[in-house]
Amino acid sequence: MKNHRMKTKTVGWLAAIPLSAMMGVCVGQAGPSQVGPDPTLPKPERGLLPDMVIAKPAPWGDKTPTVPDGYTITAIATDLKIPRQTLILPNGDILVAEGKGGNAPNLKPKDVIAGIIKARGTSSVKGGDRLTLLRDTDGDGNYDVLTFAENLNAPYGLALVDNNLYVANQDAVVRFDYQPGQSKASGPPETVTPLPSDINHHWTKAMTASADGQYLYVGIGSNSNITERGMTAEVDRARVWRINARTGEHKSYATGLRNPTALTIQPGTDQLWAVVNERDEIGPNLVPDYLTSVQEGAFYGWPYSYWGKNVDERVRPQDPAKVASAIKPDYSLGSHVAALGVDFSNEAMGAQFADGAFVGEHGSWNRKDPVGYKVVFVPFRDGKPFGAPVDFVAGFRDKDGTTRGRPVGVTVDPKGALIVADDLSNTIWRVTPTQAAKSQQPVAVAQ
Amino acid sequence: MNTIIHHRYALTVHPVHAIFLAGMLPWFLGAALADAAYAQTFDIQWNNFASWFLVGGLVFGAFALLFAVVDVFRPSQRARGIIPYALVLLAAWIVAFFNALIHARDAWASMPTGLILSIVVVVLTFVAVGLGFRTPHIRGAV
C-alpha cells in the first residue's frame, strides 16, 4: 500500500490581498441579473456553430487557488485519478471517489468533433474507479494517502449511515461495511440496487442519505443535452430517486431535473437540496444552472421546459400538460457554470461563511466569455438563499484561458474546513480559516 | 462521304468524375428522405441518418468539385457549359455544408430548416448532375 506525505502549499496574507481584489471582477462577469431566485432569461439563440471556449490545462507549479483573507488553502493530495466527490468520515478521514464514466456513443458527426474539442479541456488521466482515503494522523494538516477500495465502476456519490458506507457507482448503489478508523475495505461491496446506466450520457450518480438514514437520494442525469438521443433513452432519467437503504426499493422523488450533480441535506432539517446542470446550445445566458430545495413529487421541466414553464422548442413530441405542471427552482447560479458540488456550511467555517452553501463550479464550455471555474458561497437567511453568491475559492482559470484546475465536489468538514476535489489537476484542496487551523487538535484514529 | 471524328471532344465526363458527381445524389436524396421521416415520426434516428448522409454527399461533392475546378482552370480543356455546371455544383455543395451545420443542432432545433435545405440541395444536385453529364470533357492536346 502506498503511504506518502503531501507537501503543503499555503497562501499567506500578503499574497491573498491582491488576488481577492481580482475576485470582485469575476462576479461582474457572471452577470448579476443571472443569479438569484428570479434570473433574466433572454430569448433562445443559436448560431451556425455553438460557442465553444475550452479550458487550456496547465500545471499549478507554485501557484494555488485563491481564497478570501483569513483563509488558507492547501493541496492535501495530488496525482489522484480523477477525484470527483468527497466524504468526511466521523474520525476526520476523507474519502475520495475517483473515476470517469459514461459510454455514450457518438451519434452524429457533431458528436465526434465536439468530443475531440471538449476532451482538450479535461484531464487525460484514466479514471481510478476507486476510493482513496486521506488521513491526518497527527492533526498537522498533512494527509496520508491510502487506497480504501478498488475495482469500482466510476464511483461518485458517497454516504455513510452508521456502519454502512454507500457508494453510488455509475450503474449501481453498493454498500461496504465500515468500522470507525478503517483504512481499507474489508471485502468487495454488496449491491443495494442497480441504477439506470444505459448510455449514461450524464453518468454521475450523486448521492446523499436522508437525515434519519433510512433513505438514500440518488441523482440520475439525463441521457442527452435535450433529447437528441431519443425519448426512449430518457426513461428513468433526469430525476432523483429515493431508495430504501435497507431493501433497495426506490421511487422517483422528483423529476425533470436535467442533471442533478450533487445532493445534500440542509442541516437541522429533512430537506433535500440539489445543484442541477441545465441544457446547452440556446445561448450564453440560457439556461441557468441552479441550486434548489427538491420538493417531493415535483416536476422541474426537463426536457419540455426550463425555469418553470419556458417551453424548449427542440423537444418533439411536446407535452403541454407536463409544462403546465413544471415548477421553478429556488436559486439561479448562472448559465453554464456547471455546478458539480454542493454542501452546507457551519459555524466552524467562520462568521462570514457560516450560514449558506458552498457550490463547486466546474466551468463552462458553451460560452464565449467563460464562467464558473471557482467555488462560490451562496449566503442563506432563515433557511433560504439570500443575496448574490460570493467567490470563495477562485484562481482556477486565467483570463487567457490557462486553466490549472476545475472544482467538482465540495464538502464541509464539521471541524472547520472546506474540501474541494479538482478533477483537472487531480488534486484535493483543503481550505481552512487561518485562525482555526492553528488551534486544531490532533484527531484520534483507531488502528 | 467521309466523316471526321474529333477524338479531342468526348461527350462523357471522366469516369471517376462521373462516380463522384452522380454519387452525390443518393446521399443527398437519402438525407432529404430521412429528414422527412424525422418530421413525420419524431424518431431521432432519422435525424442521425440525415446528418451522416450529408457528410457522405459532401465528401463525394468535394471530389466532383475538384474535377470541375481542374477543368475550369485549364483553358485548353475548358469546354462550353463548364462554368454554369461548376457554379451549380459549388452552390449545391455550399448549401449542403450549411445544412450539415444546421443538422448539428440538437433534436428538433434542426427542423424545419434542415428539411427545406435538404430539398434545395437535392434539386441543386440534380441540376448539377444533369449539367455535368451534358458538358463535354476535352482530352488530349490541341
Structure confidence by residue, pLDDT tens digits, B79-98: 788 899 999 999 999 999 99
Burial class (CB in 10 A: 0-12, 13-18, 19+), A95: buried
Question: CA B125, B127, B130 angle in degrees (round to 5)?
Answer: 110
Whether B2 is in a domain gets the answer no
Q: For chain A, what are the domain ranges? A: 13-439
**pLDDT of B80:** 80
Q: Which three cell numbers stand for residue A89?
A: 468520515
CA distance B106 to chain A (A): 5
Average pLDDT over residues A174-201: 97
Instruction: Report the residue of A51, A108, A226, A314 to disrupt the B interface, i.e. the one with the largest count of B CBs within 10 Å.
Output: A108
- To the nearest whole number, what is the mean pLDDT of chain A? 91
CA distance B107 to chain A (A): 4
Which chain A residue has the Cα nearest residue B106? Answer: A228
CA distance A305 to chain B (A): 14
pLDDT at A446 over 90: no
Task: Report yes or no: A266 and A182 within 8 Å, Cβ to Cβ.
Answer: no
Burial class (CB in 10 A: 0-12, 13-18, 19+), A325: middle
Q: Which residues of B touch A105 (CB under 8 A)?
A: none
Q: Which residues of A touch B48 (CB under 8 A)?
A: 107-108
- Could you tell me where the DSSP H helices lie in A224-342? 320-325
Give dist(CA B108, CA B41) in Å, integer: 12
CB-CB under 8 Å, B106 with A225: yes
Tell me the three state secondary structure of residue A234: helix
Taking the domain A13-439, which CATH number applies? Answer: 2.120.10.30
Whether B132 is in a domain gets the answer yes
pLDDT at A33 over 90: no
Integer CA distances (angstroms), A265 to A159, A161, A167, A429, in order: 11, 13, 17, 23
- Report pLDDT digits (tens) over A331-378: 999 999 999 999 999 999 999 999 999 999 999 999 999 999 999 999
Identify the band that residue A437 occupies on the pLDDT scale cut at 50, 70 and 90: very low
CB-CB under 8 Å, A46 with B105: yes
Whether B16 contacts chain A with CB within 8 A:
no
Give dist(CA A371, CA A36) in Å, integer: 16
Interface predicted TM-score (ipTM): 0.86
- The packing angle between helices B15-41 and B113-134, to 10°, is 160
Average pLDDT over residues B62-73: 92
Integer CA distances (angstroms), B59 to A359, A365, B56, B66, in order: 46, 29, 5, 11
**pLDDT of B141:** 56
Q: Which residues of B touch A46 (CB under 8 A)?
A: 105, 109
CA distance A127 to chain B (A): 28
Domain count, chain B: 1
Selecting from B51, B107, B111 the residue whose C-beta is nearest the C-beta of A226 gives B107
Instruction: Report the residue of A316, A318, A319, A366 to disrupt the B interface, i.e. the one with the largest count of B CBs within 10 Å.
Output: A316
Q: Which three cell numbers stand for residue A306?
A: 426550463
Q: Which residues of A touch B47 (CB under 8 A)?
A: 108, 228
**pLDDT of A46:** 87
Give dist(CA A42, CA A273) in Å, integer: 26
Q: Which three cell numbers stand for residue A358?
A: 458552498
pLDDT at A9 over 50: no
Whether B1 is in a domain gets the answer no
Which residue range(s) make up the domain with B133?
9-138
Integer-rounded Cα Rg, in Å, for chain A is 20
Residues 35..64 of B with a Cβ closer than 8 Å to A: which?
A: 42-45, 47-48, 51-52, 55
- Report pLDDT digits (tens) over A161-181: 999 999 999 999 999 999 999
**pLDDT of A20:** 34
CB-CB under 8 Å, B98 with A228: no
b/e string for A292-313 if b means 16 or more Cβ within 10 A? bbbeeebbbbbbbbbbebbbbe
Integer CA distances (angstroms), A98 to A22, A139, B115, in order: 32, 24, 44
CB-CB under 8 Å, B106 with A316: no
Q: Which residues of A touch B (CB under 8 A)?
A: 46, 48-50, 107-110, 224-231, 281, 313-317
Whether B119 is in a domain gets the answer yes
Beta-carbon contacts of residue A141 (< 8 Å; ≥ 6 apart): A8, A74, A76, A430, A432, A437, A440
Which chain A residue has the Cα nearest residue B105? Answer: A281
Q: Which residues of A touch B51 (CB under 8 A)?
A: 108-110
